[in-house]
């Protein structure tokens, strides 16, 4: 039997963000909604990764783009060598 390659999970990273006051209030309000629906209280900050995951998983345009392989074709604009705001021609 040939086993499929075992994928290593991506490492977790810590991200620090600043939320605008109204967005933070909405997040706190959503935590109350979560408690109402599920009967469990939850720290609003714990919802952020789940909200982000749900958003990415349901964004149809992103999913289509991701499946298309377009993301593997990185587009880098050429950066011409410049001096004092003038562009030099590359040999």
Q: Is residue 48 part of a domain?
A: yes
Q: Is residue 39 part of a domain?
A: yes
Q: Is residue 81 part of a domain?
A: no
Average pLDDT over residues 62-84: 68
pTM of the model: 0.63
The pLDDT of residue 74 is 58
Which tens digit of pLDDT belongs to each residue from 20-68?
999 999 999 999 999 999 999 999 999 999 999 999 999 999 999 998 8
Domain containing 41 equals 34-66
Burial 29-53 (b: 16+ CB within 10 A, else e): eebeebeeeeeeeeebeebeeeeee
Q: Is residue 73 part of a domain?
A: no
Query: How many structural domains is the chain composed of?
Result: 1
Q: Is residue 76 part of a domain?
A: no
Q: Is residue 60 part of a domain?
A: yes
Q: pLDDT-based confidence at 16, cuts 50/70/90?
A: very high
The pLDDT of residue 56 is 94
Q: Is residue 56 part of a domain?
A: yes
Q: Containing H/E element for 82? A: strand 82-83
The pLDDT of residue 75 is 54
Q: Is residue 11 part of a domain?
A: no
């Amino acid at each position: 039997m040939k086993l499929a390659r075992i994928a290593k999970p991506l490492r977790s990273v810590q991200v620090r963000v600043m939320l605008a006051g109204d967005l933070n209030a909405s997040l706190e309000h959503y935590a109350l909604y979560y408690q109402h629906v599920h009967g469990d209280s939850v720290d609003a900050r714990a919802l952020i990764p789940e909200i982000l995951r749900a958003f990415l998983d349901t964004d149809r345009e992103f999913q289509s783009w991701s499946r298309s392989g377009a993301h593997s074709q990185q587009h880098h604009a050429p950066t011409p060598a410049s001096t004092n705001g003038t562009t030099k021609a590359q040999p």
